[in-house]
Amino acid sequence: MNLAKSILTACGAVAIAACILPGVSAQAAHAKSRTHHKAAAAKPAPAPVADASAPAAAPADASDANVVRRDPFVPLVNEKKAMGAHLPPGKAGLVVATVRVDGTVKSPNGMLAVVSNPEQRVYFLREGDRLYDGTVEKIGLDGVTFQEFSKDAFGRPVEREVTKRIYASAGEQQ
Domain limits, the chain = 2-41, 88-165
pLDDT digits (tens, 9 = 90+) for 127-140: 999 999 999 999 99
What's the rounded Cα separation, in Å, for the pair 140 and 145? 8
Quote the Cα angle for 167-172-174, to 5°: 60
pLDDT band for position 61 (50/70/90)?
Answer: low
Nearest to 116 by CA among 168, 172, 164, 170: 164
Q: Quick one: pLDDT at residue 75?
A: 83
Q: What is the pLDDT of residue 19?
A: 64
Sign of the dihedral defined by the CA atoms of residues 114, 118, 121, 125, in that order: negative
Residue pLDDT, tens place only, 76-123: 876 555 455 688 899 999 999 999 999 999 999 999 999 999 999 999
User: Domain 88-165 classified CATH 2.60.40.1930?
Assistant: no
**Cα–Cα distance measured from residue 24 to residue 157, given in angstroms and rounded to the nearest whole number:** 63
Averaged pLDDT score across all residues of the chain: 77
pLDDT over 70 at 154, yes or no: yes
pLDDT at 124 exceeding the cut of 90: yes
